[in-house]
Amino acid sequence: METMINYDPTFAEEVFQNVDAGEEIKMCMNCGVCAGSCPLRHEMDYPPRQIFSLIRSGKRDEVLNSKSIMLCTSCYTCVVKCPRSIPVMDVMHGLAHYAIKQGILTRKLTASFGGEFWNQVYRLGRVDEKDLPRRVFFSQGLVEGIKSMLGFMDIGIRLMLHRRMKLLPEKKIKGIESMRKMLDKAEKLGKGGTVA
């Protein structure tokens, strides 16, 4: 017998409750403009529209294990074009965050990048261009870490030549306390970004 999807609204309800902007997916009319405009479309297993359809049909595993939700680069193209003003990007980030919270790490690297990015910004008020990749890459283990670092050496040198990356550790920005207050507030307001 062929596969049959059983519609189950409980997952949709879970998404509405827990995922930032999750409720907005109700407005989707399946036009596909998000998928059509996504620069990472070819990397995705399900385009955003289909993610929304899957949520509504209750396919929890497919959605939370989808690598699509981890791939969004925040280019805003889908958000700008969506005829129903759905913040597609926020939903994708929200889903990724929720998946990670559930312990699902489809793209570990993406997840650790997100987590480290947030940590650094929270700690320093800025990103340390050498510390962030180091932490991310070595989260995969020592050998993988060295391999990845070597692969990015060229970029690292060029960044240094353009003074985009310092040899010394970055210092905290002025007024880091106020910045942290802002971030705390933001985290409280939303249902969270891609923080591990």
Partner 1 sequence: MADVETTNQSILVVGGGMSGITAALEAAEAGYDVVLIEKNPYLGGRVTQLYQYFPKLCPPNCGLEINFRRMRQNPKIRFFTMAEVAGISGQEGDYDVTIKLSPRYVNEKCTCCGKCAEVCEVEIDNPFNYGMDKIKAAYLPHEFAFPMRYVLDPSIAGTDEGKKCFEACEYGAIDLNMEASTFDLKAGAIVWAAGWNPFEAEKVDYYGFGEYPNVITNVMLERMASPSGPTGGKILRPSDQKEAKNIAFIQCAGSRDENYLPYCSGICCLASLKQTTYVREQQPDCDVTIFFIDIRALDRLEDFYTKVQEDEKVTFIKSKIANITEDEETGSLLLEGENTRTGEQILMNFDLVVLATGMVPNQIDIETPPDVTNDEYGFLTNDPEKPGVYGAGCSRRPTDVASSVQDATAAALKAIQSIARR
Partner 2 sequence: MDKKTALYICTGCGIGDALDIEQLKEEGTEDFTIAEIKDHPFLCGAEGVELIKKDIEEEGINTIIIAACSQRVNYDVFDFGPDKIVDRANLREHVAWSQPAGEEDTQMLAEDILRLSCSRADNTQLPEPYAPEEEFSKDILVVGGGLTGMTAALETAKAGYQAILVEREAQLGGFLARMKQRVTLPYKELTETGAEALVNEVTEHPKIKVYTSATVEKIEGGPGVYSVDIKSNGDAVSERVGAVVQATGWVPYDANKLGHLGYGQLKDVVTNVELEEMAAAGKITRPSDGSEVKNALFIQCAGSRDPEHLPYCSSVCCLVSMKQATYLKEQNPEGASYILYKDVRTVGQSEDFYRKAQEDGNIFIRGEAVNVGEEGGKLFVEADDELLGEKVKVEELDLVVLAVGMVPASKPVTTPRIKAPADTEGADEQGMIEVLPDSGFFANSALNLAYRQGPELPTLKYGFPDSHFICFPYETRRTGVYSAGCVKRPMETAKVIDDAAGAAMKAIQCTELTSEGKAVHPRAGDTSFPEFNMQRCTQCKRCTEECPFGAINEDEKANPLPNPTRCRRCGVCMGACPERIISFKNYSVRMIGQMVKAVHVPEEDEEKPRVICLICENDAYPALDMAGIKRMKWSPYVRFIPLRCLGSMNLVWIADALSRGIDGILLLGCRHGDDYQCHFVKGSELAETRLGKVSETLDRLALESERVKFEEVGITDYERIPKIIDKFMEKLEEVGPNPYKGW
Residues that bind partner 1 (CB under 8 A): 29-37, 41-42, 46-47, 49-50, 80-81, 83-85
From partner 1, partner 2, none, interface partner of 5 (C-beta below 5 to 8 A by class): partner 2
Which residue pairs from 14-19 have beta carbons closer than 8 angstroms and sit at least 24 positions apart in sequence?
Answer: 14/60, 15/55, 15/95, 15/98, 18/98, 18/191, 19/91, 19/94, 19/95, 19/97, 19/98, 19/191
Structure tokens at 36: 């059509």
Return the number of the residue (85 or 102) whose C-beta is nearest partner 2: 85
Distant-in-sequence, close-in-space partners of 169: CB < 8 Å, separation ≥ 6: 128, 131
Among 20, 37, 38, 50, indicate the residue that binds partner 2 (CB under 8 A).
50
Task: Pick the piece of the chain touching partner 2 (CB under 8 A) from 21-29, 74-82, 97-105, 137-145.
Answer: 21-29
Structure tokens at 120: 């650094």
Distance CA 9, CA 126 (A): 41
Task: Pick the piece of the chain touching partner 2 (CB under 8 A) from 6-14, 68-76, 87-95, 174-182.
Answer: 6-14
Structure tokens at 102: 């559930």
Distance CA 178, CA 186 (A): 12
The answer to whether residue 84 forms part of the interface with partner 2 (CB under 8 A) is yes
Least Å from the CB of residue 132 to partner 1: 32
The answer to whether residue 29 forms part of the interface with partner 2 (CB under 8 A) is yes
Least Å from the CB of residue 112 to partner 1: 29
Distance CA 87, CA 93 (A): 10
User: In whole angstroms, what separates CA 194 from the centre of its chain?
Assistant: 5
The answer to whether residue 53 forms part of the interface with partner 2 (CB under 8 A) is yes
From partner 1, partner 2, none, interface partner of 91 (C-beta below 5 to 8 A by class): none
Return the number of the residue (84 or 172) whose C-beta is nearest partner 2: 84
Instruction: List residues binding partner 2 (CB under 8 A).
Output: 2-7, 9, 12, 26-30, 50, 53-54, 56-57, 84
